[in-house]
Amino acid sequence: MEKQTVRSFVFVYLALIGLLALTVGSSFLELGRLNVFVNLAIAAIKAGLVAAFFMELRAAQAVVRLAALAGLFWLALLLGLSLADFLTR
């Protein structure tokens, strides 16, 4: 097996477990509204690690990355435009 790749996967795995501990730990701190943002930021970092390494977006062709970004783009529209309404009523 490709030693280099396997090693990077194990590092990513350890980082993901560390981030999980961090997100659960932070939820016991009284940070007010900040708790949500800490949780979402950590989840986004974890998702980025999985996509970049395990799903190999890092080494993917431009058109494949574009398809992945398209998913995020439409999600941003869905969430962004909905909340632009509900948050400003």
Partner 1 sequence: MPDSRALRAQFDDLGQQREAAALGMWVLLATEVLFFGALFTGYTVYRLAFHDAFVAGSGHLNVVLGTANTAVLITSSLTMALADVASRSGSRRAVIGFLAATAVLGSAFLAIKGLEYAQEYREGLVPLNSLVFSYSGPDAERVQMFFNFYFAMTGWHSLHLLIGIGLLIVFIVLAWRGRDRVRLEGNVRAGALYWHFVDIVWLFLFPVLYLVR
Q: List interacting residues with partner 1 (CB under 8 A).
A: 1-2, 5-6, 9-10, 12-13, 16-17, 20, 23-24, 27, 30-31, 35-36, 39-40, 42-43, 46-47, 50-51, 53-55, 60-61, 63-64, 67-68, 70-72, 74-75, 78-79, 82-83, 86-87
* Residue 47 Cα to chain centre, angstroms: 3
| Residue 11, amino acid | F
CB of 52 within 8 A of CB of 58? yes
Tokens of 27: 């939820």
Tokens of 16: 């993901």
CB of 68 to partner 1, least distance (A): 5
Spatial separation of the C-alpha atoms in residues 74 and 48, rounded to whole Å:
17
CB of 8 to partner 1, least distance (A): 10
CB of 47 to partner 1, least distance (A): 5
